Structure 1
Amino acid sequence: MTFRPWQRVSLAMFAVGWGANQFSPMLLAYRDELGMSAQARALLFALYAVGLIPALLIGGSASDRWGRRAVVVPFVALSPVATALLMVWSDWVPGLAVARLLAGISSGVVFGAASAWMADLSVDDAPGTGARRAALSLSAGFGLGPLVAGVVAELSAHPLVVPYLPHLVLGVVALVVLLPAAGPAPASAVRRPLVSLPAVTRGRRFLLTVAPTAPWVFGCVAISFAYLPSVVDAPTEGALAFAGILTGVALGTGVAVQPLARRLDDHRPLLAGRVGMVCATVALLVGIAAVTADSRVLLLVAAPLFGAGYGCGLVSGLREVERLAPPDERGAVVAVFYGLTYLGFFAPYLLGAVAGTGLGVRGALGAAIAVAVAGLLVVSLAGRDQRHSVAGASRG
């Protein structure tokens, strides 16, 4: 079978995305099989972000300096290694912590650098094609990984090991397919520090049109499958499969809406992001109803709305970054964007903290709605001025 260069990168991003999110429904398996405390599970969840965010910032700049292929290939290889360690150390919390940290580092480098690589390989296609391909590849992996892991864990006699086998195989195959892919040579003039914020990310356009809504990309799905199920009083029977299905529905919808998001962005830059924020707001309202009624059905109603918020926000943000970033800074700017999106994984903890102040769960969700509406207003007002976006596109 013959692969085009961008398809090789796409498969690698899909595989790493699968490995990144397959762990989410497994938290319930560790609780049930090992009696793991909520604090330990929270630590394992957080360690992924601890590895991911600095790796995003370093990986994007490193790929600008040394080339996409040189940076991406080793960390695509690291992804199945991290999964293998989850299997080997399935009942040892320190080992699981090391595996989660490595998974975060792998994801951080690949998400930023490979997204920039995809943009490089798509320069001869229609504007925004690279961003769309990158978003679809990651989103498909994000959605299928937890869906498969949750269902397999529910059915398997060895729920701490067998659910990771599909990604182990997929990760190795993706690495083999990626190896022949050629990467563009880096610009010889790129000699910036590896950890730095490109000028674009400190500019008014980025701060007012990208930064306010970027955390809602993953904030939407984190609220959908990591927060709301924990505050809805539902039977424990089938909880693993339900967690996987809920995650798959949210992220699967995120994949499905991305062609529409692209058309919206073609019609008017940032329109997709604004539609996504509206979907997030409606989803939070449905979430309040689900908490009030203790209803799993309403959680499933909210999931595709959260997914639409995620998918629209991801496409809109990546395309705005493509418009703003010059080619020799594209990896670094994409990395900053992804770093902001992953702040959304802290949303469940922030909501829990706000709920604990006396506002309660519904009050915390109401506060989230207020923040979402404020971000929507900021982006809507700032997005009226297209001059900076056009200038950025001309540099690219």
Structure 2
Amino acid sequence: MSPASTAAASAGPSARRQASGPAFALTAGVIGLCLAASAVPSPLYRLYAVRWHLPTSTVTLIYATYCLGVLASLLVFGRVSDTWGRRPVVMTGLSGLLVAMGLFGFASGAAWLFAARAVQGLATGIAISASGAALLELRQGRDPATASLANVVASALGVGAGGLLGAVLLQFAPAPLVTPFVVLAVLVAVLLLGMTTVPETVSRVSRSGLRIATPGVPRQIRAPFVVAGLAITCAWSIIGIYLGLAGTLAPALLHTASPLAAGLAILALGGASAVPPLVARALPPAVQIVWGTLALIGGIASMAWSLSADSAVLFVAASVVIGIGVGFAMFGALRTVGAAAPPDGRARVMAAFYIVAYAAISLPAVAAGFVAQRLGAEATFQIFGAGIVAVSVGTLLPALARHRAQHRAQHRA
């Protein structure tokens, strides 16, 4: 039985009937909203720091709390939706996200932010792992690449829209530390309601109640998982560094004190990330990873040059090139994992994939936050950017080798 037919057989009948349309869009929307909610606080941190006299190290640790929450959630609950069902797990994650928005809205000090980010991280980890697996199942029978495309586009637009939303509301809305989270809470509530109409994709026969098992990668798919893991490491590590430093770099280069500078910079990167999956979906996944890493190398080098030359135009152009690289690399990585993951352990594999992704987006960003206190944002970006370029170069070789092996196998067949 082919992977596509196996996936279709493992899904419930209603899921097979509604493999597209509102159910698919709502599931992708969960991923987009989770990523948007994670980016909204980025433009607000400077105001938090000023109002509550928070040192940079505290702000960095608040960010780290979110990432650790996601990682802990994926480690502990990564496989729950394989046995409990996708829909109830996604709805549990969204309910937790609603609680986090409430904590943000009522925040009156650093302790509230730590609590809000911890709950947000746990909720995000629960929701995105189950949603990613559900997307694969909702489309696997007809068009496997569409699930990965929706995942990447939703993630990219979520990050870009979240950063811009936070900046716009900070600039223009009343109660700028409350309004963004009221808006997000309304959106979460709408999605939560919508998820009640989404069909379950895990059949009753394969469910066995609530079992907690750690994420894992079956031995037979470790080779493609390593290639995908390297690609997502390159893509998400630069997102983490960018989100952490854009609030300082963008206003300085654009010569403005407005928070919109950072928001627009994040939108440029996030918006560009959504383009490659839409225009280059016919390329093999390994080729997409190759193009992604090449674009990341060129974009990061251009951004380092823009910082040295104090060029706003080059900074924006480099942001777009980096975004294109992120889109290619993430799409290729998700397609690689999606095609390789066995139907009966899909959430477990997706959880392992997101653990790699969130380790990549968090650990370098947290380290960069502490380094920036001593060396400044420009030097910090150049140091960590050079590290990401080195990993990107190292990713090219296994991606090319995988493409050649697949090409030879196709010719033999």
Instruction: Name the TM tier (shorter chain).
Output: 0.7 to 0.9
Amino acid at match of 2:31: M
Q: 2:56 aligns with which of 38, 51, 65?
A: 38
The corresponding residue for 2:214 is 195
CA contact under 8 A between 1:29 and 1:159: conserved in structure 2?
A: no
The corresponding residue for 2:267 is 248
Residue aligned with 2:113, SS: helix
CA contact under 8 A between 1:228 and 1:299: conserved in structure 2?
A: no
The corresponding residue for 1:16 is 34
Quote the RMSD (CA, aligned, Å): 2.9
Residue aligned with 1:213, SS: helix
Q: 2:358 aligns with which of 328, 342, 353?
A: 342
The corresponding residue for 1:385 is 405
Moved more, 8-17 or 66-75: 8-17
Q: Does residue 1:373 correspond to 2:393, yes or no?
A: yes
Aligned equivalents of 2:22 and 2:219: distance in 1? 31
CA contact under 8 A between 2:103 and 2:112: conserved in structure 1?
A: yes
Aligned residue runs from structure 1 range 315-330, under 5 A: 315-330=331-346
Aligned equivalents of 1:14 and 1:193: distance in 2? 26
Q: 2:98 aligns with which of 59, 80, 84?
A: 80
Q: CA deviation at 1:389?
A: 10
Q: 2:305 aligns with which of 289, 295, 299?
A: 289
Moved more, 55-64 or 109-118: 55-64
Q: CA deviation at 1:190?
A: 7.1
The corresponding residue for 2:347 is 331
The corresponding residue for 1:393 is none
The corresponding residue for 2:17 is none
Pick closer, same or farther for the CA change 1:384–1:190 going to 2, 3 Å. farther
TM-score (norm 2): 0.84
Moved more, 228-237 or 180-189: 228-237
Amino acid at match of 1:341: A
CA contact under 8 A between 1:21 and 1:145: conserved in structure 2?
A: yes
Amino acid at match of 2:392: A
Amino acid at match of 2:298: V
Q: CA deviation at 1:365?
A: 3.2
Pick closer, same or farther for the CA change 1:153–1:30 going to 2, 3 Å. same
Q: CA deviation at 1:253?
A: 1.1
Amino acid at match of 1:368: I
CA contact under 8 A between 2:69 and 2:125: conserved in structure 1?
A: yes
Q: Across the two proteins, how many residue pairs are aligned to each other?
A: 384
Aligned equivalents of 2:370 and 2:23: distance in 1? 46
Amino acid at match of 2:301: L
Pick closer, same or farther for the CA change 1:46–1:353 going to 2, 3 Å. closer
The corresponding residue for 1:103 is 120
Moved more, 321-330 or 131-140: 131-140
CA contact under 8 A between 1:63 and 1:113: conserved in structure 2?
A: yes
The corresponding residue for 2:172 is 155
Amino acid at match of 1:302: A
Residue aligned with 1:25, SS: helix
Q: CA deviation at 1:15?
A: 2.3
The corresponding residue for 2:323 is 307
The corresponding residue for 1:113 is 130
CA contact under 8 A between 1:224 and 1:302: conserved in structure 2?
A: no
Pick closer, same or farther for the CA change 1:67–1:121 going to 2, 3 Å. same
Q: CA deviation at 1:205?
A: 3.1
Q: CA deviation at 1:7?
A: 2.3
TM-score (norm 1): 0.87
Aligned equivalents of 1:133 and 1:389: distance in 2? 28
Aligned residue runs from structure 1 range 85-234, under 5 A: 85-89=103-107, 91-186=108-203, 188=206, 194-200=213-219, 203-207=222-226, 209-227=227-245, 230=248, 233-234=252-253
Residue aligned with 1:159, SS: coil
Aligned equivalents of 1:137 and 1:28: distance in 2? 27
Residue aligned with 1:203, SS: helix
CA contact under 8 A between 1:59 and 1:113: conserved in structure 2?
A: no
Pick closer, same or farther for the CA change 1:95–1:326 going to 2, 3 Å. same
CA contact under 8 A between 1:150 and 1:163: conserved in structure 2?
A: no
Aligned equivalents of 1:214 and 1:373: distance in 2? 13
Aligned equivalents of 2:391 and 2:48: distance in 1? 33
Amino acid at match of 2:196: L
Q: Does residue 1:280 correspond to 2:290, yes or no?
A: no
Pick closer, same or farther for the CA change 1:179–1:255 going to 2, 3 Å. same
Aligned equivalents of 1:128 and 1:320: distance in 2? 10
Q: CA deviation at 1:46?
A: 0.4
Pick closer, same or farther for the CA change 1:279–1:237 going to 2, 3 Å. same
1:96-119 Cα shifts (integer Å, max 9, x gaps): 111101111111111111010111
Aligned equivalents of 1:364 and 1:9: distance in 2? 34
Aligned residue runs from structure 1 range 51-90, under 5 A: 51-89=69-107
Q: CA deviation at 1:294?
A: 3.0
Moved more, 218-227 or 76-85: 218-227
